[in-house]
Structure 1
Amino acid sequence: MDVQHVLLSPKGRIGPSDFGRGLILLTGVMMLVQIASALVSPAFGILQYPLVFSYVCVFGKRLHDGGRTAWLYLAFLAGYFFIVTVGSAFLLPVLSPDAFSMQAEFQKLAQSGGIAAAFDAMTQDAQELARQSVLTTVVTFLIASGILGLIGGRLKSDPSSNVYGPPTARSDQPDTFS
């Protein structure tokens, strides 16, 4: 796998194996960034933004392999946000009960003291909320990445050349990890 081509170039095509390797690498790095952002310093969160470009490259080239436009990555992104939102709603009370109780307090404050008071409280306790909910954040991220990775990996490849380049290596050809 050519890491520079897979993670940093939006052009071309990649097959399911390079897609899987790239996604696993990105998921591991993103997970570490999320943990560092919650437990060490929120400044680590800025590292997520360059990783988004790499996700676009990996998913975009996988879509290209099937002759589809990389703009369809927006559907994967919407799916990601949906899975994380629903997953967090179900898993937060189970995996991060302290964070769930903090959110309940913010909601009570918003109902009684107004939205500005709730925002002030959330701003003051943002780092603590991130620490308390890090397990839920990581688990929902891994679930979403796994589901979307399975979908992306199972996309049908175009067996012939298309506008995005020549076909990727077939499964019966040796993989040289170049």
Structure 2
Amino acid sequence: MKISMFSLLVPLLIFTFFLFKWLKGSKKNLPPSPPKLPMIGNLHQLGFLPHQSLKLLAEKYGSIMLLHLGSKPTLISSSPTMAEMVLKTHDLNFSSRPKANSVGRLVYNFKDPAFAPYGEYWRQIKSSPVNVSELLVIFSNDIICRMAMGRRHSGEKSGSKFMKTFDECLELLGAF
């Protein structure tokens, strides 16, 4: 029975990769963490009621712990004093979300307020208030008008007159 060089080399490479990763990760000063699985991290420990699972994990590992949700490390603080301490001393480190390339492509290179990284651009776009209910009324009105009459009314001069009439109709429908 012959053993090829390739069949010996592949397990050796995999072993050295995981050994290097384990040695590299063991030198960090990280908070306590429950054991994780390779691909899903600690997701299997959350269960159907995540708030209760997190409470049980906090009782076992302390009020601040590190969970791996998939491949992303996540710091969990279960006490308000620890959360305040973390957010006061390391607020810039925890103020932004991790960037995912797929999300970046969907939201125009992170220009959406929900996914924009913390910084000057995020502060500028979050300061202008948006009336979402008014935008939804205009959007649904445009859809109905295009279906019924074949054109929109919100972009025209008569659009404001149409919206005023529409608001009066809604007010009358809501009255006795």
Q: Calculate the TM-score normalised by the size of structure 1.
A: 0.23
Which of 1 and 2 has higher RCO (CA within 8 Å, sep 6+)?
A: 1
Please identify which structure carries the higher strand content. Answer: 2
| Larger Rg computed on CA atoms | 2
Q: TM-score, normalised by structure 2?
A: 0.24
